[in-house]
Amino acid sequence: MKPSLLSFGLVLGLIMSTQPGCSSPKKQTFAGDPGQIQRPAGPAGRPPPQSQPAQSGPTVRRLNEPSSMPSVPPSGARLTYNSIKTDQKVLAMTFDDGPHPSNTPRLLKILRDRNIKATFYLVGKNAKAYPSIVRQMVAEGHEIGNHTWTHGSLTSMSDEQIRRELTMSSDAVFEAAGYRPQTIRPPYGAINQRVKELMFSEFGYPTIMWSVDPQDWRKPGVAVVTSRIVTASHPGAILLAHDIHAPTIDAMPGTFDQLLAKGYRFVTVSQLMNIEKTSPPLGALTTPVTVAGANPAPLQP
């Protein structure tokens, strides 16, 4: 980012943090005065499991009932996740590279209107530039993951560089919202065994990839982004998008509404991991059922 752009962003961030509702587009409002958002009181800076703002609005909200699953990864989490195996119609929507000073608040409103909880993989330097947006994410029950400090490729960094990138990014989120990321998404999806194991053993981070990628950063058009996500979604999917691009935000209302209409429920990444941990094996659900009085069905080979 160029210095002049950075300065502009900082000034804009300052304006937004002091004047709720003063942002693009018009009529957009924050959930509340950022200065009044309560810091999470959970252990180790984790957010309370059901941090929910006062809500009002469309009936579509009922379609995504809040999950009682915890918003932290389960013990015994796997090293890498692209999706989970489940027959439940659950999806984890993830947004990378923010916060962005105008696109991210617009997205948060879209999520709030549908009671959808998402997971944001924040670039540390952006979190430091827009702390009020980070606070708003946590206050509204979203999960935040680590996406490094500079958005560099982890596989080309030394162990020491990786430690610095992850620590600086985690610290920026903690300073903004009293919350520490619990998972990592590697920029560009660049990952190898050395990096995964370092991040897991030293930071406790499972590596979170994705199973649905609409390539929204190429800006293929709103309808294309929606159709790619809706068509490719499957139970247990992790969906990838980027909240720094305005057309991606434009695509989200239609995307969410179509997926909700198909019976999908949105959970955060950690909630998805917990669903896998607590679900019975898929095979256990396909055992033939014998109807009383009928001849016993032969066992399937």
Does 96 participate in catalysis according to the annotation?
Answer: yes
Helices (H), the chain: 3-18, 103-113, 124-129, 131-139, 159-177, 193-203, 222-232, 246-261, 269-278
The residues binding Ni ion (CB under 5 A) are: 96-97, 187
Annotated catalytic residue: which of 100, 142, 147, 242? 242
Of 37 and 191, nearer to Ni ion (C-beta) is 191
First to last CA, the chain: 60
Do 53 and 112 meet the contact criterion of CB atoms below 8 Å apart?
yes
> What is the rounded CA–CA span in Å between residue 127 and residue 169?
8
In whole angstroms, the minimum distance from the beta carbon of 151 to Ni ion comes to 6
Q: Are strands 265-267 and 90-96 parallel, antiparallel or unpaired?
A: parallel
DSSP 8-state code for residue 185: -
In whole angstroms, the minimum distance from the beta carbon of 289 to Ni ion comes to 46
Of 69 and 184, nearer to Ni ion (C-beta) is 184
In whole angstroms, the minimum distance from the beta carbon of 189 to Ni ion comes to 9
Handedness of CA 219, 224, 230, 231 (dihedral sign): negative
Residue showing the smallest CB distance to Ni ion in the complex: 96
Among 171, 148, 134, which Cα is nearest to 16's?
134
In whole angstroms, the minimum distance from the beta carbon of 188 to Ni ion comes to 7
Of 131 and 187, nearer to Ni ion (C-beta) is 187
Of 200 and 217, nearer to Ni ion (C-beta) is 217
Which residues are marked as active site? 96, 242
